[in-house]
Structure 1
Amino acid sequence: MKLSTKGRYGLRALIDLALYSETEPVSINTIAERQGLSERYLEQLMALLKKNGIVKSIRGASGGYSLAKPASEISVGDILRALEGNLEPVDCGGLNPEEGCSASGTCVTKYVWQRINESITNTVDEIMLDQILAESRKMPEQPSGSGRNCKG
């Protein structure tokens, strides 16, 4: 499975938001500057995250974005599904009873696809945003905009 920039940049932006929005909302341009991302692209990602109830926006001079719920209640899976959609790397009709598959009864590869899909889902749903924040606080402070060199 390969994530697009939506998932990769969106996760980075959410980590940044969670780190800096504990006392006040954070503006898009502040996140974009710290992470080396386009403001326009970040606006699109935040709109998807807002639509899915992960962030909320506050209007006004001191407005911006903050988490819609505690970081301990937001999984990486929630974030990636909001930005990427379905995370299953293989779309197998044999795994979905409503779709059906003519070879479902004799196809042994569906077992492989099911195990891969379950592994990905379990992994991203077990990692909570607060765990990532705890890990990021252990790392040495990086200069502003250092996210530009990060491939993730």
Structure 2
Amino acid sequence: MAVSTRGDYASRALLSLVLNDNGKPTSVRDIAERTGLPQPYLEQILLALKGAGLVRSKRGVGGGYVMARDPSEVTIGMIVRAVDGPIALGDFGQPHQDGACDHEGQCVLLAIWDSVGLRMRSELDSYSLAAVAEAARGRAPWPGTAHVAGESLRP
């Protein structure tokens, strides 16, 4: 599985909201300018994030988007699921269900795909938006370097 452009853009947009939180709504234009994301596509993504309860919007002058939840409660996995749906290695089915083991070798491979998908979901859910923001600010180690410093980016 590859994280889609939507998943990446959604993560970047929410990270921008957290990094620039001044207690006021942020316009789509401002988020697009800060992140380099195309505004029309970003508007669609923010609507999906709103539908998932991750952001709230305010209309009119001074309107824009704010986080609907504390960034420490929002994980990268939640963001990706909000715009892409379930995180899975593929749509292969589960071992021992619906005749999945009727064909040579298929069952063991389904178990592998399922296991790898579980690890991928677990990894994406282990990074809170607040922790990622701290790493972006230089106050916490970057992902992949935490084991070297003896610290953790994960909550």
CA 1:109–1:26: 2 relative to 1, 3 Å: same
Q: Structure 1: how far apart are the matches of 2:102 and 2:127?
A: 32
- Deviation, 1:21, is 2.6
Task: Kindly indicate whether residue 70 of structure 2 is the aligned counterpart of residue 80 of structure 1.
Answer: no
Aligned partner letter, 1:121: R
Root-mean-square deviation over aligned CA pairs: 1.9
Hey, what does 1:129 align to over in structure 2? 129
Kindly state the Cα deviation for residue 62 of structure 1 after the two structures are TM-superposed: 0.9
Higher-RCO chain (CA-CA 8 Å, sequence separation at least 6): 1
Q: CA deviation at 1:131?
A: 0.4
The CA deviation string for residues 90-127 of structure 1, in whole angstroms up to 9 with x for no partner, is: 22222485xx2342696211221121011011111111
Q: How does 1:9-20 map to 2 (within 5 A)?
A: 9-20=9-20
1:10 and 1:83 in contact (8 A); partners too: yes
**Which ranges of structure 2 fall in alignment gaps of 5 or more residues?**
140-155
Provide closer, same or farther for how the CA distance between residues 85 and 34 of structure 1 changes in structure 2, counting only shifts above 3 A: same
- Encode CA deviations 1:57-97: one digit per residue, 9 max, x unaligned: 01221111000010001011110000111210122222485
The answer on whether the counterparts of 1:28 and 1:42 sit within 8 Å (CA) in structure 2 is: yes
1:93 is paired with a residue of what secondary structure?
A: coil
CA contact (8 A) 1:21 1:65 kept: no
Aligned amino acid, residue 109 of structure 2: T
So what's the TM-score if we normalise by structure 2? 0.81
Q: Distance in 2 between matches of 1:62 and 1:121?
A: 37
Residue 48 of structure 1 corresponds to: 48
Is the contact between residue 93 and residue 101 of structure 1 (CA under 8 Å) also seen in structure 2? no
Q: 1:20 to 1:71 in 2, by over 3 A?
A: same
Q: TM-score, normalised by structure 1?
A: 0.83
Measured in 2, the distance between the counterparts of 1:11 and 1:56 equals: 16
* 1:37, distance to aligned residue in structure 2 (A): 1.3
Ranges of 4+ aligned residues in structure 1 off by more than 4 Å: none
Aligned to 1:101: 99
Indicate the percent of aligned positions where both proteins have the same amino acid.
35
Unaligned runs of 5+ in 1: 140-152
Aligned residues: 137
Partner of 1:90: 90
SS in 1 for 2:94: helix
Q: For residues 47 and 133 of structure 2, what CA distance do their matches in structure 1 show?
A: 22
